[in-house]
Amino acid sequence: MSSREHILSKAKENKPEAIALPNIDLEVFKDAKVLSEEFILKVETAGGNVLNATSDKDVIAQINTMFPDTKVNFSTLEGTESFNTVDLNKLEKPHDLENLDVLVLRGDLGVAENGAIWIPDHQIPMRVLPFISKHLVLVIKKETIVPFLHQAYQKLGNTHNDFGVFISGPSKTADIEQSLVIGAHGALSLSVFVQ
Amino acid sequence: MTHSKAASIFNKDEKKVNWHDKALWFVRHKRDIAAHTVTGWEELRNLGHGIKAHTLSNLDTYLTQFEENALKNGVQVHWAKDGDEHNRIVHGILKEHNAKKVVKSKSMLTEECHLNPYLEADDIEVIDTDLGERIVQLAKEPPSHIVLPAIHKKKEEVDVLFQEHLGTKPCDGDPQYLTGEARKHLREKFIHADAAITGVNFAVADTGGIVVCTNEGNADMGAHLAPVHIACMGIEKIIPKQEHLGVFLRLLGRSATGQHITTYSSHFKKPREGAKMHIVIVDNGRTEQLSRPDFRASLHCIRCGACMNTCPIYRRSGGHSYDATIPGPIGSILSPGKDLKKHSTLPFASTLCGSCSDVCPVKIDIHSQLYKWRQIITKDTQQPFVKKTSMKMMGNIFAKPTKFEKVGKVARWSLRNLPKSMINSKPNVWGKERDLPLGPKESFDDWYKKRQKNE
Ligand code: SF4
């Protein structure tokens, strides 16, 4: 018997009698929090900062004042090509992105309860981008903010992403004596623009 | 070595123990604050429990469904009966790709299977990339906590370790500087890795996808750069549907560190263009645990570490005292299932206060399972002479009221009048590090009778 069959047959043999799958009743989680306020609070709790922007151009203008001296920049927002200093089409391998200073991406939705932003494959030209960049800037539309992860997954529903990530705050660690240090392996800072 | 003996080694450095105790209690406190912000938290825990119980009762079906979907996604799926087979499979994949340098993100399963020494024996470099794991790897120690692997290390120790291995400058243990240096050191490793190994937090049957949660971003740095990604999972990581992630991701971060969600919750489904992805599904004793009605709920565990942070014994004895990959309360019900003899003292490393069961996000009845293991162990294994004899004597005394009264009188008198050296004599382990109270003059029984008369 192959290991596969062995494991499956033992699982079948040893499992308890069928137990019903509970229903998720979203009513029990309802609270009176204001979505946009809660979202800002949670992004900040996670170590990020939230800014307002009127347009994509406005985002870039604000970034230029936030990071005046960065050498390697890349943005996927429309009409912001002049901001870009790298041409992804000319990259041979993702490793060449090692010096990326600022990356600007659009997120599909934000989650108020934890400040997480959903970044699926189709928003990232290369999967490693949001992790390898020194500074990460995410842009979302205000009306895409949902209260809880439950609604986020409802929205994702059948959109079949090959890869996707919820990002909440910059990378961090507290592995040395529980002191929080922002900037572990991923981004050193996270700015979120709400349009 | 018994748990209490191993704990006494950790207890030699009193200052460190006090720090360890407080640091973990602080994490527990952060968990409370985060949990209390969620309306319907208890309902969320019930759902976590219910979904896991349902999944286990259909485990074979969901595993098959998961495999089918993962294959459709272009992922290769492997099955391993035990740790050895798991190691052989991973080794085989690495050989096939001629991989000599491997970066690994946190995975308790690969610890459990002792993957690193297996690969190192064939000259494959395996670098643990989670900062805490890297620290213990450099120190040649196992992790002492499943979420905070280096919680037993003081920053000064990390300082010395990094000076020796990474060539850092002495810094009085400055966490900012040390983390920055580790980032540089590990960047190098990510860039040059031939393969990345990650664990799996959740495997979704209806999409064939896996979810990996980290705060540092190390799993993603590894998986998106290396040409091969190997994800290793125990069979209990399965959940039925993507929407169930809504329940578990809400529970996990808050229970683990008091974060509302980890920084990165990465959903892997298909390999990226030009890269390969493998999933290794491992049993290693889990179907055995599934066969035990009293203990199968231990397979609900989502490895948040909350039961460790809250446990008064764990906080004061340190993770290494459990001599097992998963320490603390949950480890103490998992380990005896694997090797009852080796781990027979673990279910006794508890006050049965029940705090673990109260914080567990998937409502495992941890303390009652500890109690049940005790029943089995006392029956099946040799108990120390002093414990056995004294338990028998106590049982005898409790069974006969007149005897109990007489002995009580003697005990009360002794506690008041005998010298401490005699009361805290060697067989009385309770007298270690603590004093017994002075004996009251009258028994509860006498006091009660008197009180009734006076009324
Ligand atoms: S048993 Fe519960 S509390 Fe302990 S690590 Fe597992 S899920 Fe967390």
pLDDT tens sequence across B351-385? 999 999 999 999 999 999 999 999 999 887 777 78
Give the nearest chain A residue to B292 (CA atoms).
A14
Residues comprising chain A, all counted: 195
A34-194 CATH: 3.40.50.10420
User: Between B175-192 and B155-166, two packed helices, what is the crossing angle to 10 degrees?
Assistant: 40
Instruction: Examine the pLDDT at B414 and tell me if it is beyond 90.
Output: no
Determine the average pLDDT of the residues in B145-169: 96
The protein residue with its alpha carbon nearest to ligand 1, atom 8, reads B304
Instruction: Examine the pLDDT at B448 and tell me if it is beyond 80.
Output: yes
- Band of residue B52 on the pLDDT scale cut at 50, 70, 90: very high
Instruction: Examine the pLDDT at B330 and tell me if it is beyond 80.
Output: yes
Distance CA A7, CA A2 (A): 9
Q: Is beta strand B209-214 parallel, antiparallel or unpaired with respect to B264-268? A: antiparallel
Domain chopping of chain A, boundaries: 34-194
What radius of gyration do chain A's Cα atoms show? 20
In chain B, what percentage of residues exceed pLDDT 70? 100
Instruction: Examine the pLDDT at A170 and tell me if it is beyond 80.
Output: yes
Residues comprising chain B, all counted: 455
Tell which phi-psi region holds residue A157, choosing left (phi > 0), alpha (psi between -120 and 50) or beta.
left
Give the nearest chain B residue to A1 (CA atoms).
B81
Q: Is beta strand B276-282 parallel, antiparallel or unpaired with respect to B76-80? A: parallel
Domains and CATH numbers, chain B: 1-29+294-383 (1.10.1060), 38-284 (3.40.50.10420), 388-454 (no CATH)
Distance CA A112, CA A150 (A): 11
User: What is the pLDDT, as a whole number, of residue B387?
Assistant: 78
- Long-range contacts, stretch B346-349, CB < 8 angstroms, 24+ apart: B346/B3, B346/B322, B346/B373, B347/B371, B347/B373, B347/B374, B347/B377, B348/B3, B348/B374, B348/B377, B349/B3, B349/B4, B349/B7, B349/B313, B349/B317, B349/B321, B349/B322
Contact call for residues B146 and B256 (beta carbons, < 8 A): no
Determine the average pLDDT of the residues in B286-297: 96
Tracing tokens 């996808």 back to the chain, one arrives at B209
Tell me if chain B has a CB within 8 Å of the CB of A41. Answer: no
Contact call for residues B151 and A178 (beta carbons, < 8 A): yes
Determine the average pLDDT of the residues in B234-251: 98
Tell me if chain B has a CB within 8 Å of the CB of A149. Answer: yes
Q: Which of A167-171, B353-357, B398-402 has the lowest mean pLDDT?
A: B398-402
CB atoms within 10 A of CB A122: 13
Determine the average pLDDT of the residues in A105-134: 96
CB-based contact B63 A11, cutoff 8 Å: yes
The pTM of this model reads 0.93
CB-based contact A169 B263, cutoff 8 Å: yes
C-alpha to C-alpha distances, A132 to A96, A121, B120, B216, B221, nearest whole angstrom: 10, 16, 28, 12, 7
Determine the average pLDDT of the residues in B61-75: 98
What radius of gyration do chain B's Cα atoms show? 25
Average pLDDT, chain B: 94
Q: Which of B219-233, B419-433, B440-454 has the lowest mean pLDDT?
A: B419-433
Q: Is the model more confident about B432 or about B397? A: B397
Determine the average pLDDT of the residues in B120-138: 97
The protein residue with its alpha carbon nearest to ligand 1, atom 4, reads B307
User: What is the pLDDT, as a whole number, of residue B239?
Assistant: 98
Q: Which of A102-116, B138-152, B432-446 has the lowest mean pLDDT?
A: B432-446
Model confidence pLDDT, tens digit, residues A149-159: 999 999 998 77
Chain A environment of B245 (Cβ under 8 Å)? 149, 153
Q: Quote the ipTM score.
A: 0.97
CA distance A137 to chain B (A): 14
In chain B, what percentage of residues exceed pLDDT 90? 82
Model confidence pLDDT, tens digit, residues B187-210: 999 999 999 999 999 999 999 999
Q: In the numeric block, which tokens belong to residue A135?
A: 């500074």
CB-based contact B287 A17, cutoff 8 Å: no
Q: Which of A84-88, A174-178, B122-126 has the lowest mean pLDDT?
A: A84-88
Instruction: Examine the pLDDT at B395 and tell me if it is beyond 90.
Output: no
Chain B environment of A150 (Cβ under 8 Å)? 243, 246-247
- CA torsion sign for B416, B421, B424, B426 is negative
Cβ partners under 8 Å of residue B421, min gap 6: none
CB atoms within 10 A of CB B316: 16
| Residue ranges lining ligand 1, Cβ < 6 Å | B 255, 301-307, 330, 359-362, 364, 366
Instruction: Examine the pLDDT at B349 and tell me if it is beyond 90.
Output: yes
Write the single-letter amino acid at B205: A
Q: Is the model more confident about B48 or about B419? A: B48
Interface of A with B in 58-117 (CB under 8 A): 94-95, 98, 111, 113-116
The protein residue with its alpha carbon nearest to ligand 1, atom 3, reads B360
User: What is the pLDDT, as a whole number, of residue A180?
Assistant: 93
Model confidence pLDDT, tens digit, residues A21-70: 999 999 999 999 999 999 999 999 999 999 999 999 999 999 999 999 99
Q: In the numeric block, which tokens belong to residue B368?
A: 């009652």
